[in-house]
Amino acid sequence: MKTNAVIRLMSLLAVCVCSVQSQTPEVTPADLQAKITTNSVILKQPHCYFNNTCPSCDIWLVPSLSSATSTFDADLTNSNILSLSPYPSAFNTAASKNYFLTRVGPLSAFPCNASSDALYFVVGADGNCGTVNCNGALPTGSIVGFKYLLVNGSSIITTTNWSQNITLATPQNYQNISGAFAGRSAAMVVITAILCAAVGLLLLLFFIMLCVVCCRTNDSKQITGKSSMRIPRYDTHNLHDRMHPYDNPAYEMERHTVPGKTHTIRPVKNRK
Amino acid sequence: MVSKGLGCLMVTVVVCNIFAAAASLALMAVAIWVVVDAYKLYPISAGSGKTDIFAAAWIAIFTGFAFFVTCLFGIFAALKRSRGLMLTYLIIMFIIFIFECASAITAVTNRDYLVGNSNLVKQQMLQNYAADTTQGKQITDTWNKVMQDVQCCGTDGPKDWIDFQSTYQSTFGTSYPWPPNCCKKLSNSEVANPTNCRLGQNTDLFTKGCFQYIESMLSRYVWVISWYGFAVLMFVFFMLLLAMVYYTQLD
């Protein structure tokens, strides 16, 4: 019985805890490329963040530098809180409060059952605006936190917790992009190495060829006489035309084709 | 026997020369294609100051044609069985060989420099897109065309425009975080959905980076000049060896 009571108490407490505002503002989970830019953030819309039913209430947003969240919390009790830190002077001097307040919309525009990840609220949509509570751009590259407020008229009824710190993008100088050497690809090494080797080899073989040809002509020049006799057949007198052991096959062709050029030595036949 | 071998060698040399003439004519044709720059990426190459890919293509046009003419001369020299002509042929081929080697090596080296990684192209884009110089206008036009045709944004993605300072941002940065050409456009060149474009909704903003396209198109040029040139050169190398052997067999 006691455990049953404890369980019932715990579940009741859990329900109570859920009904208390524990939602924190968060960056939209939708797939938007400009979620966090240098001076703007896209947040999820505050559906079901406040449980109060208040027909004339509005939801306001406090974008603040992460270093100034305590300043805002200290100023929370001030009755002029809505216009205490106007946007134009919120970030520009050393004495600035580094937060500003801007109206998101009426509480009735954000009912629980219409909650969706696709709905978003752009902080900084108004750019460099001049009114007190405009949705102005955030300082470039700063670290910011957000808090939603439930406001009735000009008094704050309740607030959410501070969101996690969100770091805005700091644009780097493009000159700093390292133009360092990207490295050599394998193709380049292969092509260069093989082609250079081929050129060298060709040159070498070319000179070898020239040497070989020159040497060969020199050798053959030493041996041949001025008017060399090409003797296709040399028959000595004792052979009697029976056999021709001294035929020179190198001049076989000349023996048959160019009879005028052949220096065939026919010995005088001594026929008795 | 010797003359039969010589005849065989002569026929081989002649046939190889015919093939080399055809191949080098094809080299000249593809080099002309590269010079014509079908993908209109010359300004990106010129922005870096080194247009060696296109210089190599010009050299390849001339060496391709020279190879063609010299190979025809080589056929004539081989048929004539003349030593003097063959020697002339070999010397001329060797000179053209060296120039074609230079073309192939230059093309592939410049490719590594330009598109080895995305840094150079990104730096150029950030510096020159929307700049008011002549080079700026050319690069802006090139990038606009690429971004719309290929449906991409920035070099590595649209975040490039957020993460880095750029000429575009300092000139137009307040209205759009990235150029309107990064978004889907209607047929009358207006942005289809300006709100979604500004927010970066992936139905309207192109989230792919353009570097992959630029790198693959420039690589296509380079592979044509360098690898095909390399193939022609290897064939010519062995043909020249054959021609040198033929030369030594001539009397």
Distance between CA atoms of residues A34 and A137, nearest Å: 14
Q: In this complex, is the C-beta atom of A186 within 8 Å of any C-beta atom belonging to chain B?
A: no
* Mean of pLDDT over chain B: 92
* Res A265: pLDDT: 54
For residues A179-191, average pLDDT: 85
Nearest in space to A230 (alpha carbons), one of A263, A187, A207: A263
What does pTM read for this prediction? 0.77
Q: How far apart are the first and last CA of chain B?
A: 15
Give the residue ranges of chain B where pLDDT is below 70: 1-2
Q: In this complex, is the C-beta atom of A215 within 8 Å of any C-beta atom belonging to chain B?
A: no
* Res A112: pLDDT: 83
Which residues of A fall within a CB distance of 8 Å from B158?
A: 33
| B1 against A192, higher pLDDT | A192
Question: Cα angle vertex A81, ends A75, A82, to 5°?
Answer: 145
Q: Is B185 helix (H, G, I), strand (E, B) or coil?
A: strand
Which residues of A fall within a CB distance of 8 Å from B97?
A: 199, 202
Distance between CA atoms of residues B177 and A140, nearest Å: 13
A3-49 pLDDT, tens digit each: 676 666 665 555 444 333 457 888 888 888 888 888 889 998 888 88
For residues A257-261, average pLDDT: 50
Q: What tokens appear for B62 in the block?
A: 């001339």
Distance between CA atoms of residues B54 and B241, nearest Å: 31
Q: What tokens appear for B175 in the block?
A: 């209205």
Nearest in space to A30 (alpha carbons), one of A104, A102, A121: A121
Nearest residue of B to residue A206, measured between CA atoms: B244
Q: Which amino acid is present at A16?
A: C
* Res B144: pLDDT: 94
Q: Which of A155-164, A239-248, B154-163 has the lowest mean pLDDT?
A: A239-248
Contact check, Cβ <8 Å, B165/A185? no
Which residues of A fall within a CB distance of 8 Å from B105?
A: 188, 191-192, 195
Residues 6 or more apart in contact with residue A91 via CB below 8 angstroms = A65, A98, A139
A65 forms beta bridges with: A144
Which residues of B fall within a CB distance of 8 Å from A34?
A: 162, 177, 198-200
* Mean of pLDDT over chain A: 80
Task: State the greatest distance between any 2 C-alpha atoms of chain A, in Å, as a whole number.
Answer: 162
A47-102 pLDDT, tens digit each: 888 887 888 888 899 999 988 888 888 888 888 888 888 888 888 888 888 888 99
* Res A222: pLDDT: 55
* Res B152: pLDDT: 94
Q: Which ipTM was obtained for this model?
A: 0.89
DSSP state string for chain A: -HHHHHHHHHHHHHHHHHHS------B--S-BTTSB-SS-EEEE--TTS-----TTEEEEEEEEEGGGHHHHHHHTT-TTHHHHS-GGGSSSSTT--SB--EEEEEGGGS-GGG--TT-EEEETTT-S--STT--PPPPTT-EEEEEEEEEETTEEEEE-PPPPPEEPP-PBPGGGS--------HHHHHHHHHHHHHHHHHHHHHHHHHHHHHHHHHHHHHHS-TT----SBB--TTSTTS--TTB-GGGHHHHHH-TTT---B-PPP---
Nearest in space to A234 (alpha carbons), one of A251, A258, A215, A220: A251
Q: In this complex, is the C-beta atom of A29 within 8 Å of any C-beta atom belonging to chain B?
A: no
Beta-strand relationship, A143-152 and A57-65: antiparallel
CA distance, residue B39 to nearest chain A CA (Å): 23
Distance between CA atoms of residues B94 and A201, nearest Å: 11
* Res A136: pLDDT: 87
| A59 against A253, higher pLDDT | A59
Contact at 8 Å (CB) between A146 and A121?
no
CA distance, residue B189 to nearest chain A CA (Å): 22
Q: In this complex, is the C-beta atom of A192 within 8 Å of any C-beta atom belonging to chain B?
A: yes
Contact check, Cβ <8 Å, B199/A31? no
B120, B199, B241 member nearest A34 (Cβ) = B199
Residues 6 or more apart in contact with residue A218 via CB below 8 angstroms = none
* Res A252: pLDDT: 66
| A131 against A13, higher pLDDT | A131
Phi and psi, residue A234, nearest 5°: -125, 100
Residue A227 has pLDDT above 80, yes or no: no
Distance between CA atoms of residues A104 and A47, nearest Å: 12
CA distance, residue B36 to nearest chain A CA (Å): 24
Neighbours of B32 (CB within 10 A): 14
Q: Which amino acid is present at B42?
A: Y
Q: What tokens appear for A245 in the block?
A: 């052991």
Nearest residue of B to residue A193, measured between CA atoms: B105
A34, A199, A213 member nearest B248 (Cβ) = A213
Contact check, Cβ <8 Å, B200/A169? no
* Res A262: pLDDT: 45
Task: State the greatest distance between any 2 C-alpha atoms of chain B, in Å, as a whole number.
Answer: 88
* Res A155: pLDDT: 85
